Amino acid sequence: MSASAMQPGVEVQQTADGRFPGIIGTTLAVATVVHACHERSIDEGLAQLAIPGLDRRTLEPILTYCAELKCEAADASCSGCKRRTEVQGLHTLDDFIRAHAEVVVGDGQIRLIGQGTGTITTPALAALEKTWSGENYWFWARRVLRKLRHGIRRANIQGEAFAGTGETPAIILMEPQLADNIGMVARAMANFGLDELRLIAPRDGWPNEKARIAASGANYVIDDGQPFPTLPEAIGDLNWVAATTARQRDLRKPVLTPIEVIAEIRSRIARGERCGILFGRERNGLETDEVANADALVMIPVNSRFASLNLAQSVLILGYEWMRTSGSATLGRVTTYETPQDPGMDLGDTRAATKQELEGFFVHIEQELDRLGFFNPPHRRQTMIRNLRTMFTRMGATEQEVRTLRGIVVALAHGKGAGRKRP
């Protein structure tokens, strides 16, 4: 057998459950390879799989097969992939249960009887509700493919890491319901230099392509976003957590404004602590029992009659305070053609006029106004000159603007071109 024939590739295989894209020479599905390299580093995943001939070079075409959904043309799908449930016409949890002979819940005291074949087990109905539809393996494959080609991207949009691990507060979303909201949160985080996104039991699973689309380019935040099943697991490695709320809570905890909480977080990070900010569900925020896990509350100054903020808006406000005090913010974007902008007047390629240039203009306009009889009555001349000088000094003219003003005086006094006045 030739060396090329020994290289692992993809071929459609058949089982009792249907056709699936498998790795040549094995009974492993493509999804198994994607899952292993996604859950761990690529090298750790390859070591765990231990498939002869499968390395970083031969992995790429397998990932590409999945990322580009080539399984669709082959009429095949992996077990546990969301594509399979779609192909099988399973659109709801009820459909999924009906398609099996039995669903065993927990220790077996609860059993759901379906109309199909096969038995599945689940630790709880709540867990099954979140996982029944399968994983977006093709989306995972795209993430692994990017890491394979470009390395792990703890980086901002320009490709340079904004901050190291623990140097910014983790943004923690409690059971986010809409993928679009997660994407908009990621975009707000990228706007203001917040890199670490943690998701507690996202309703629609993770990763999620809709969140990536809504992130509008903040893909590195989405790529590095970490899902956790519970709040304690999401905050377990943190030293200090602040919880956002619009409702008053009967808890003896400090209540901080965005300015105050960011100051506290900066102080703690400087001492080597890891911090996080917890945001509630879109529909009803955080439960009091969840808030009890936090060290402080964050309340944003709002209209008391309409205090509910959109999830991304809340993150945006806290992110703005973080960036405002970072010392590394810029006004607007910086590109190849746009340099950092400073507050105040942008003079561009010109400069502020000197007092000598202004004096030349004052003498010029006063001479022409004198010649044309503007200063009348004569005893008001000095007051009118003083007012003119005050007015033009206040405008803070550039040297280019002074030249323009002098050209206007010449044109008004003597005309220009064909309109020049004859003596």
pLDDT digits (tens, 9 = 90+) for 98-119: 888 898 988 888 898 988 888 8
Give me the amino acid identity at 211.
Answer: A
Look at residue 161 in the predicted model and tell me its pLDDT. 39
Given a cut of 50, whether residue 141 has pLDDT beyond it is: yes
* Winning range, highest mean pLDDT, from 58-72, 77-91, 135-149, 200-214: 58-72
Q: What is the pLDDT of residues 365-386, one digit of tens each?
A: 999 999 999 999 989 999 999 9
Average predicted confidence (pLDDT) for the chain: 86
DSSP 50-103: --TT-SHHHHHHHHHHHHTTTTTTTT---TTBHHHHHHTT--SHHHHHHTSSEE
Above 90 in pLDDT, residue 80? no
6 or 74, which is more confident?
74
Res. 3 pLDDT band, cuts 50 70 90: very low
Q: Which pLDDT belongs to residue 1? A: 38
| pLDDT (0 to 100) of residue 279 | 96
The sheet carrying 197-200 orders its strands as 226-228, 197-200, 170-174, 275-279, 240-244, 296-298, 255-256
- Tens of pLDDT, residues 254-263: 999 999 999 9
pLDDT score for 219: 83
State mean pLDDT over 67-87: 89
pLDDT at 154 over 60: no
Whole-number pLDDT of residue 331: 66
Q: Report pLDDT digits (tens) over 327-367.
A: 766 666 555 555 566 666 777 778 899 999 999 999 999 99
Q: Comparing 421 with 303, which gets the higher pLDDT?
A: 303
CA distance 225 to 205: 12
CA angle 37, 219, 21 (to 5 degrees): 35
Residue 160 predicted with pLDDT over 70: no
**Cα(66)–Cα(21) distance, integer angstroms:** 9
The CB density around residue 50, as the number of other CB atoms within 10 Å, is 7
pLDDT over 70 (residue 22): yes
pLDDT of residue 2: 43
Mean pLDDT is lowest, of 1-5, 270-274, 326-330, for 1-5
- Does the pLDDT at position 158 exceed 70? no
Confidence grade of residue 157 (pLDDT, cut at 50, 70, 90): very low
Omega within 30 of 0 (cis) for the link into 52 = no
* 3-state secondary structure string across 177-206: CCHHHHHHHHHHHHHCCCCCEEEECCCCCC
Of the chain, the end-to-end C-alpha distance in Å amounts to: 104
What percent of the chain has a predicted confidence (pLDDT) above 70?
A: 89
Q: Give residue 315's identity as a one-letter amino acid code.
A: V
pLDDT of residue 9: 87
Residue 329 confidence (pLDDT): 62
Average pLDDT score over residue span 190-195: 90
- pLDDT value of position 181: 94
**pLDDT confidence bin for 162, thresholds 50/70/90:** low
Q: What is the pLDDT of residue 320?
A: 94
